[in-house]
Amino acid sequence: MVVDTRTHQMHLCEGGKVDRTFAVALGTSGVGKQHEGDNRTPLGRYGLGSPRASKDFHVFVPVGYPTREQARMGFTGGAIGIHGPPRGYGTLAQLAMLVSRDWTAGCIAVATNEDIDAVAAWVRTREVKDVRLVP
């Protein structure tokens, strides 16, 4: 999985080829997360956790931020993941993404519950479970 933060696209890749691409929203303050509460989406390579149900979002796929090395360097924060729109705000989240507005607290968000279901199914069926967030 590769998230191109410049183009706001997440690519699900297999065998060196893109299987599917999704438009994504990122943190309201951009990229380069270093501290909890900075509203930035991290850059780098991170492990993915098992997709799970969420009280705030339909499905949440945990992203392993910060890495051990980043934590040693003083990076803080957590609860970074890939998710769909907040419960009750599906249409607003979709509209925000249409006008390229980033609205998350540092996560990667797809536009619909159907999109996050497809991402979660992809993660569940792959051996390699990591995401690269690139500038």
16-60: per-residue pLDDT in tens?
Answer: 899 999 999 999 999 999 999 999 999 999 999 999 999 999 999
Beta-sheet pairing, 81-83 with 59-62: antiparallel
CA separation, residue 51 to residues 84, 92, 99, 125, 130 (Å): 12, 23, 28, 11, 13
Domain that holds residue 110: 2-134
Mean of the per-residue pLDDT values of the chain: 91
Q: Is 19 in contact with 119 (CB distance < 8 Å)?
A: no
Count up the domains in the chain and report the number: 1
> What is the rounded CA–CA span in Å between residue 123 and residue 56?
20
Distances (CA, A) of 129 to 43, 55, 78: 16, 23, 18
Q: What's the pTM value of the predicted model, to 2 decimals?
A: 0.91
The string of pLDDT tens digits covering residues 98-108 is 666 888 999 99
Is the pLDDT confidence value at 92 over 70?
no
The CATH code of the domain that includes 80 is: 2.40.440.10
For residues 75 and 101, the answer to whether their CB atoms sit within 8 Å is: no
For residue 66, cis peptide bond before it (omega within 30 degrees of 0): yes
Q: Residue for token digits 């998350």?
A: 104
Distances (CA, A) of 94 to 73, 83, 104, 109: 36, 13, 13, 10
